[in-house]
Structure formats: structure tokens, C-alpha cells
Structure 1
Amino acid sequence: MMKTLLISCLLLALLPPVASLICESCFDQGKDCRNATTEECDDSSDQSCLSASGVGKLSLLGPRVVLKSCIDRELCEETFASVSISSALYLQSKATCCNTDMCNSGLPEMPETETREPNGLKCPSCINIFSDECESNKTVSCRNDEDYCFYLAANMDFGESSILGAVRGCATASACNYIDGLLDTDIGSLGFDIIQAECTGAMGEDATEDTTIYDGLVVEEGEVSA
């Protein structure tokens, strides 16, 4: 018994101490972060350091954005995501993960932009600044693998001011998974606070782009019915 205890104590002494993963943390415009900080992940072994970049037409955010943070490792299985808010507002992103301290401090990989082909599905489309509500009376054509409709309301810090906003549009399943994962991640230090987010199945050909969605229209499981 004493021999077993002695060997156990020796093995414990030789093992490195359990420590939280430390990652670079930021949300910024451009190719990389200008004012990155460090973030200590929780004690879970399922955490990774995320480095994600996005390109597209993003209005106030500019043509490129970057996000670095701790994130659940299971969300690293998907590397490409895409959302379409309107024909003039969209984002394609690439994410990479790593599992050592500050391993995400380098320049993020840029996504290979894909030709945006309509896939026959539609989603409600709207963007609203200064409110967490975004009721849509128009639709947007989903592109490529975007087969979900998403809704996102959040607070974002811009310098010394904070902007409340909400948006609806098309999204890939991977984009919905990222949004869901970020809801469980403390990203307040990035100046980005998600208030509400949800994804539902995209609509079929019944809806046409820029046509009115009348009161009483029900969207359920990808179908449109009055």
C-alpha cells in the first residue's frame, strides 16, 4: 500500500501542473488585431484557442474582420462559414484552432472566397442599428451551402461608444454552430456581447427576394405557409 502511494506521488510530481489555456483575445477590423489582450480559458480540457478571419461586404465593419478567443474544441471541426444578410451584405470566414498557450497570436488565415451562387432557398433579411429587434418584410437569396436562417442581436463597442444592433439572413450550419458556441463563451472582453441568437431552417422557392412577408406568415422546418 505504501509502495503504491509512493509511486503515485512520484508520478504526480513528474506530471506538469494542470493549468488553464491562455489565448490571444480580440475582435477587430482588418487583417489582424491591433490591440489584442490575453484571455485565460476555463479549466476544461475541451478549450482551444480560436483564430478566425472574415471577408466580404460588411458595411460598418469594413471588408475584413478578425476574431481571436477561447472556444470549445468541438466547434473547431468546421473551418468555413458563410452568412448573407442581403445581396450587398455578406461574410465568408475561416477559423483555425490550436491548443498551446498564445498559439493564436499569429496572422489569421484568410478564407478562400467562393463564388456566391443562389441555392434556391430564402430567409428573412433585415439589419437594424440601435435596437435588438429586427422584424423583416423582405427576403434574401441564400448562397452555396447556406441552408439556415439566422437572427442575431448584440452590443458592439466602437472606441468609446457602444452600438446595439440586430440582423437576420441566411447562414451555413457551421455559422449557426459558431454563434451557438459563442453564446457559451465569455467574449465580453472583446467588446462584443450577444443578447440573443437563433437559427431555423431556410425557406423554399415560395418566397422571392425583396418580396413582402405578410402578417401571419409562419416559417417552420424550412417550409412557408400562410
Structure 2
Amino acid sequence: TRAIASVLSGRTEPSGRLPVSVPRRPGSQPSTYLAARLGHSSDVSSVDPTPAFGFGHGLTYTAFEWSDLVVEHGRVSTDGEFTLSCTVRNTGVREGTEVVQVYLHDPVASVVQPVQRLIGYVRLGLDAGRAARVRMTVPADLASFTGRDGHRIVEPGDLELRLSASSTDARLTARVTLTGPVRTVDHTRRLHMSTATEILMEAP
């Protein structure tokens, strides 16, 4: 009760994020965002599963601005890694927490994939007016999936890395490319994105 009162009164800044999608219409159930293209709103069905609040959604008493996306390494081999960075600024009047969620979208693959899937995130606590530069390193292994022959593979091709506040709120999109042959990965594959954060001290 005290925790709820603290959040509602503004004494405590909320920073949690939804682990499910909250349905828009009565009678639906909380669902996953990990659906293939036909599992989303489309012209082939009269059912619109678009959630009221998507996976990863969260509220805050301040506001954040995302900008200055830079893709340092956007074309790498199937055993390489992408590097990108962006700036997140607290534009409100009080401190708060933002979560930069990175979703991978593979528009063309030999096996049907979810439209997007979360591959990493970084949590930023920022005072009012402060900004942070976030640098993300995404190994190609995170684009791997189980192929038709049962082996986990990384395929060459174009991808999107969506920097988002939730699964339904993409703020910045990096278009990147994997090159070279299809590569089979095993238990030594890299499972995590790495991040580095620098707090920018200049005035807003």
C-alpha cells in the first residue's frame, strides 16, 4: 500500500516495464509480442490484436528525447558485430529512468520469424536536463535462429535494429546488413549485447 501511495503521490519515480502486452479489448488475454507477421493486425483478418499497452511499456513523471543515432559499424560479416550509439536526454523537470530497448527485425529469413524480438536493453537514470550517450555493441550471433535443418544459423541479409521505449514505440531505427556465407553457431555463441554509457555534462 505504501509503495503504491508513493508512486501515485509522485514521491517515487515509477521505472518498471510491462513483461506482457495488455489487451485493448475485453475478453482478450495478456499476450506476447513475439508473433509472426500474420499474428499482427493485417488485411487478411478482421481481428486486430494491437495491444493497449505493448510489452516493455512503462510510465514516468518526466519526459525523454532520443536523438543523434550513429551507426559506426552497420555492414559486418555473419561472425562480426554491429556498433551504434544514440543520445537520450531527460527533458522534464525532475529525475527519471528511461529504458532503451533494442529489438531486432529480420524482414526476410529462410524460416518465419517474429516481426521483432528484444535482444538487449540499457536502463538510464538521469537528472532533469541531463543526457547520456549510449553505445551498443550487437554481435551477429543475436540474429541467429534455428534453420530448416535443425541447426542454429546466422544468415546474410538486411536487418533493422529498433531502439524503442516499448515493443510498440520505436524511437530510432538502424538499418544494418550482414554479409558473407550462412554461418552455423553452437553453444559458444554470444548471447548478450554489450553497452557503454557516458553522462553528458553540458547544459540542455
TM-score by length of 2: 0.27
The structure whose residues are more often helix, as a share, is 1
The structure, 1 or 2, with the larger RCO (C-alpha pairs under 8 Å, 6+ apart) is 2
Q: Which one has the largest radius of gyration?
A: 1
TM-score (norm 1): 0.25
